[in-house]
Chains A and B, each alone.
Chain A
């Protein structure tokens, strides 16, 4: 069907109502297709069918998750939220006339098919979401989950993903200040590659996507449109991998970070000059999504001339142009009088800019191909009126057995156990990964890996800055999705507070299996309920997020993995608290309470491949109190270091804090629980801090006045070659040996570190 002779125009659709259409192949259900016919009062054209199949896909329409996500919109907004859920990313007021916008998204399936490009374009996509809000992107983070560390396919996926994130993010000049790397066989056939970006903008420069003003010009900016990524959202993101299905590499997009960098700089100059009336990035669903969402948001009519879109391949058909997910493109709505300035700025940066349409009277989106109408639809029917499903839920049949599974016998802790644990894949050093990321570009990274949270300065004048952490624990969430989501939220909250920042907002990336599986849907419903209740208890709003379903291979879903990002605010980044022991002779304090909680723990997994029992108890009031104490301790200059306790418990925190600057410690575990429980329990609501002796009394009195348990567990001791970790009657190891064990694991699996 090339040329215009065989073109499936609206006119032709009216005349050939009974022509069979491949809607099922495009992922549409029978009743969904019937509804499209009802909306249009005729059969859709080929191009319209492509558009509906994309916009009504799970990925774009959130049709299975919508009813559950409403809870987040009902949370108290607080007084900082300027733009909430629904726009490309939420915007939060951080004072001093500045606002930040942040969001985390998944690029899981593309990254499994083509690790480098999948991960790279994941960065590109989230960065454009942030740019769309009017913000300059200033940092990225990557929560990553892979199959077993020593599985041969992980050796294919992980290096490609890491190189792709670095290749794209480094070339954009965005510091990568944190994230996660988790290994678990549950992700073997379905790794999770989530990408977070944060941007900063003057409060009065927020850009919105609405296309308004009859006569305004629709301008396509950036890369030419090609056949790459067609079907990305409907084929890749909204379906399950099966073992012997066809290769899906053509559905993965190819990234060009250089073009994206130019797009960023040119768009920011346009925002500064007040040249755009509306802006929307082209991501999943490409031009289809951008045209319909801008028109729908503005409640406007729009006419687009598809043949004006610059193409990489001249033979592309209209439905392909509409569905292409070619990267590095933005759609701007521009007043006619400002068009010359927009074109001039684009030219300055070497960015292609093409007027492809205009805002018109009425409420229809009309798309023309060489003068013939191929699409004539109400844009709201695509963008807002997609199907909404109340999917059936069922508590997983195996859950009771899993939760009742007997815990492996607790061992005596000795040096060998500690060395094995710090070298285990989920607790070992991430140096191999993060050395491939630029962590310092832009000159504002105050804390980055291996810190609890990334801390980035926003203002050189005042020191205003933000802290960000992401966390998720698929094992806890498998054992109890409600508690698991809250534990992820609590951990990210704790990580942010440990730096001294006040937590102010939440984003999320909800990675789950197929929503058509009632047991997965139950996990999703429980996790979202847990997250909403958790945010309410902590008093912080959800500003946006992303749902990634169909993370499964054939019938096997991943462990449900809500990844939660918490944003914190520091009035002066100079008072940030790092995780590392700073000098010998300081007092080591454990905040919070340790119970025998090893269900779903890293010890049970690393030592026994055991997943069972119940996750640690959640106490959000305690988390809030702990956060307040950590912030107050930073504000009053009492804390030298603070490290949250989570995976691997106190033992892991001691090792990481000691290795950070090479300062050792002498630890005396309090009487009571066994050394094993004290060192490896993963009870929530805890942190390990150091205070100078001169501050000890003031700090411990503050804790007791506020009712936060605070236990003296030792002193920091020794630097250089003398530095050791000595836990009285349990172990005594030189830091050098701990470091060697901690750092050897990933290089042994994926290749030597640079220079060794």
Chain B
């Protein structure tokens, strides 16, 4: 299975996402922001980082990259898409996911190992996950916001993928850490599963489940 990882100018965790795909047993394919061709990949990861420096608004410029036209189109046809951190922000800006991400409640960048409660294992990216996982969080603008009606709908229809467990690290409304679209093929997540794929370098290997999940989902 070929999993594309998009590199925007300013992407930082692109090679980490590629490593995670590889360790999960998939074949990572590097995709370039300026190239609308998805090169036949079966799924796409939008990685973390600061695309275009995040100078206007996180993800606001990246959504106009040529590659995003194809990603939006294929997502509409059911292709699995995972946005991590900056990738989540891009998915919100591209209206593939509802809501938006604003500055952390404490107004500071935050990097720590974070426990999550996974509440939806029916998406393309979460079927292999247990209920509790610990993966790193690292961002400055990770506070998930949406209007009350949207939040009610997301919770009511099972589109919340994971909640922060324990203290809310960034002021996200209802402690939401990740959401999916109605179909469950597009998932956005603020913490970084690609940084919990080896015991040596992360808090464990809880993040690997996201990548093995999509590989199972793609088996015809």
> What residues of chain A have their CB less than 8 Å away from a CB belonging to chain B?
163, 166-167, 170-173, 256-259, 261-262, 349-350, 434-446, 457, 460, 573-574, 751-756
Among B54, B105, B110, B136, residue most surrounded by chain A Cβ atoms (within 10 Å): B110
Q: Please name the residue on chain A nearest to B7 by beta carbon.
A: A265
Provide the bound-state CA to CA distance between A725 and B82, in Å. Answer: 45
The answer to whether B9 and A440 touch across the interface, beta carbons within 8 angstroms, is: no
Measured between beta carbons, the chain A residues less than 8 angstroms from B202 are 440
The answer to whether B55 and A756 touch across the interface, beta carbons within 8 angstroms, is: no
Known: A257-B53, A438-B111, A440-B138. A171 touches B10 (CB 8 A): yes
Q: Please name the residue on chain B nearest to A437 by beta carbon.
A: B111
The answer to whether A349 and B9 touch across the interface, beta carbons within 8 angstroms, is: yes
Q: Please name the residue on chain B nearest to A574 by beta carbon.
A: B200
Size bracket of the B interface: 35 or more
Measured between beta carbons, the chain A residues less than 8 angstroms from B149 are none
The answer to whether the Cβ of B64 comes within 8 Å of any Cβ in the partner chain is no
Provide the bound-state CA to CA distance between A258 and B54, in Å. Answer: 9
Measured between beta carbons, the chain A residues less than 8 angstroms from B10 are 171, 258, 261-262
Measured between beta carbons, the chain B residues less than 8 angstroms from A350 are 9
Measured between beta carbons, the chain B residues less than 8 angstroms from A167 are 109
Provide the bound-state CA to CA distance between A439 and B202, in Å. Answer: 10
Identify whether the interface residues of A are mostly helix, strand, loop, or mixed. Answer: loop
Provide the bound-state CA to CA distance between A651 and B167, in Å. Answer: 31
Number of A-B contacts (CB under 8 A): 104
The answer to whether B167 and A439 touch across the interface, beta carbons within 8 angstroms, is: no
Interface residues of B in 195-209 (CB under 8 A from A): 195, 197-198, 200-202
Q: Please name the residue on chain A nearest to B17 by beta carbon.
A: A443
Encode contact with A along B182-201: 1 for CB under 8 Å, 0 otherwise.
Answer: 00000000001011011011
The answer to whether the Cβ of B76 comes within 8 Å of any Cβ in the partner chain is no
Known: A435-B112, A442-B16. A755 touches B167 (CB 8 A): yes
Known: A261-B10, A755-B169. A443 touches B16 (CB 8 A): yes
The answer to whether the Cβ of B144 comes within 8 Å of any Cβ in the partner chain is no
Measured between beta carbons, the chain B residues less than 8 angstroms from A444 are 201
The answer to whether the Cβ of B19 comes within 8 Å of any Cβ in the partner chain is yes
Closest CB of chain B to A64's CB: distance in Å? 39
Measured between beta carbons, the chain B residues less than 8 angstroms from A262 are 9-10
Known: A435-B111, A436-B109. A443 touches B15 (CB 8 A): yes
The answer to whether the Cβ of B98 comes within 8 Å of any Cβ in the partner chain is no
The answer to whether the Cβ of B132 comes within 8 Å of any Cβ in the partner chain is no
Apart from A163-B109, A754-B110, 11 more pairs, CB < 8 Å: A166-B108, A166-B109, A170-B109, A170-B140, A262-B9, A262-B10, A440-B202, A443-B195, A754-B105, A754-B106, A755-B167
The answer to whether A436 and B15 touch across the interface, beta carbons within 8 angstroms, is: no
Known: A258-B55, A435-B110, A436-B108. A755 touches B12 (CB 8 A): no
The answer to whether A440 and B201 touch across the interface, beta carbons within 8 angstroms, is: yes
A-B contact pairs, 16 of them (CB 8 A): A166-B109, A256-B53, A261-B9, A350-B9, A438-B138, A440-B111, A440-B138, A441-B48, A443-B194, A444-B201, A446-B200, A457-B200, A754-B106, A754-B108, A755-B167, A755-B168
The answer to whether the Cβ of B49 comes within 8 Å of any Cβ in the partner chain is yes
Identify whether the interface residues of B are mostly helix, strand, loop, or mixed. Answer: loop
Closest CB of chain B to A172's CB: distance in Å? 8
Identify which of A434, A441, A754, A756 contacts B170 (C-beta below 8 A): A754
The answer to whether B106 and A443 touch across the interface, beta carbons within 8 angstroms, is: no
Provide the bound-state CA to CA distance between A443 and B202, in Å. Answer: 8
Identify which of A259, A574, A752 contacts B106 (C-beta below 8 A): A752
Closest CB of chain A to B162's CB: distance in Å? 16
Among B9, B50, B106, B111, residue most surrounded by chain A Cβ atoms (within 10 Å): B111
The answer to whether B195 and A440 touch across the interface, beta carbons within 8 angstroms, is: yes
The answer to whether B50 and A171 touch across the interface, beta carbons within 8 angstroms, is: yes
The answer to whether B104 and A754 touch across the interface, beta carbons within 8 angstroms, is: yes
Measured between beta carbons, the chain B residues less than 8 angstroms from A573 are 200
Provide the bound-state CA to CA distance between A173 and B110, in Å. Answer: 14
The answer to whether A441 and B138 touch across the interface, beta carbons within 8 angstroms, is: yes
Provide the bound-state CA to CA distance between A166 and B194, in Å. Answer: 21
Closest CB of chain A to B104's CB: distance in Å? 7
The answer to whether B9 and A441 touch across the interface, beta carbons within 8 angstroms, is: no
Closest CB of chain B to A280's CB: distance in Å? 24
Q: Which 5 A-B pairs have the closest CB atoms?
A: A258-B53, A173-B12, A755-B167, A443-B16, A754-B110
> What residues of chain B have their CB less than 8 Å away from a CB belonging to chain A?
9-10, 12-13, 15-16, 19, 48-50, 52-55, 104-106, 108-112, 136, 138, 140, 166-170, 192, 194-195, 197-198, 200-202
Provide the bound-state CA to CA distance between A258 and B108, in Å. Answer: 19
Provide the bound-state CA to CA distance between A753 and B104, in Å. Answer: 12
Q: Please name the residue on chain B nearest to A348 by beta carbon.
A: B34
Provide the bound-state CA to CA distance between A80 and B207, in Å. Answer: 38
Among B54, B106, B136, B168, residue most surrounded by chain A Cβ atoms (within 10 Å): B106
Closest CB of chain A to B219's CB: distance in Å? 27
Measured between beta carbons, the chain B residues less than 8 angstroms from A460 are 19
Closest CB of chain A to B56's CB: distance in Å? 11
The answer to whether B167 and A756 touch across the interface, beta carbons within 8 angstroms, is: yes
Measured between beta carbons, the chain A residues less than 8 angstroms from B106 are 751-755
Closest CB of chain A to B186's CB: distance in Å? 24
Known: A262-B9, A443-B15. A436 touches B167 (CB 8 A): no
The answer to whether B16 and A441 touch across the interface, beta carbons within 8 angstroms, is: yes
Q: Please name the residue on chain B nearest to A755 by beta carbon.
A: B167
Measured between beta carbons, the chain A residues less than 8 angstroms from B105 are 754
Q: Please name the residue on chain A nearest to B198 by beta carbon.
A: A443
Provide the bound-state CA to CA distance between A457 and B201, in Å. Answer: 9
Provide the bound-state CA to CA distance between A754 and B112, in Å. Answer: 10
Closest CB of chain A to B218's CB: distance in Å? 24
Measured between beta carbons, the chain A residues less than 8 angstroms from B54 are 171, 258
The answer to whether A754 and B169 touch across the interface, beta carbons within 8 angstroms, is: yes
Provide the bound-state CA to CA distance between A574 and B198, in Å. Answer: 11
The answer to whether B53 and A439 touch across the interface, beta carbons within 8 angstroms, is: no
Provide the bound-state CA to CA distance between A444 and B13, in Å. Answer: 12
Closest CB of chain B to A395's CB: distance in Å? 46
Provide the bound-state CA to CA distance between A328 and B161, in Å. Answer: 40
Provide the bound-state CA to CA distance between A720 and B107, in Å. Answer: 32
Known: A261-B10, A440-B195, A754-B104. A445 touches B201 (CB 8 A): yes
Closest CB of chain A to B94's CB: distance in Å? 20
Measured between beta carbons, the chain A residues less than 8 angstroms from B170 are 754-755
Closest CB of chain B to A437's CB: distance in Å? 6
Known: A441-B16, A751-B106. A436 touches B111 (CB 8 A): yes
Known: A435-B111, A754-B106, A755-B169. A446 touches B53 (CB 8 A): no
Provide the bound-state CA to CA distance between A172 and B12, in Å. Answer: 7
Closest CB of chain A to B22's CB: distance in Å? 10
Provide the bound-state CA to CA distance between A438 and B138, in Å. Answer: 6
The answer to whether B52 and A258 touch across the interface, beta carbons within 8 angstroms, is: yes
Closest CB of chain A to B37's CB: distance in Å? 16
Q: Please name the residue on chain B nearest to A261 by beta carbon.
A: B10
Measured between beta carbons, the chain B residues less than 8 angstroms from A171 are 10, 12, 50, 53-54
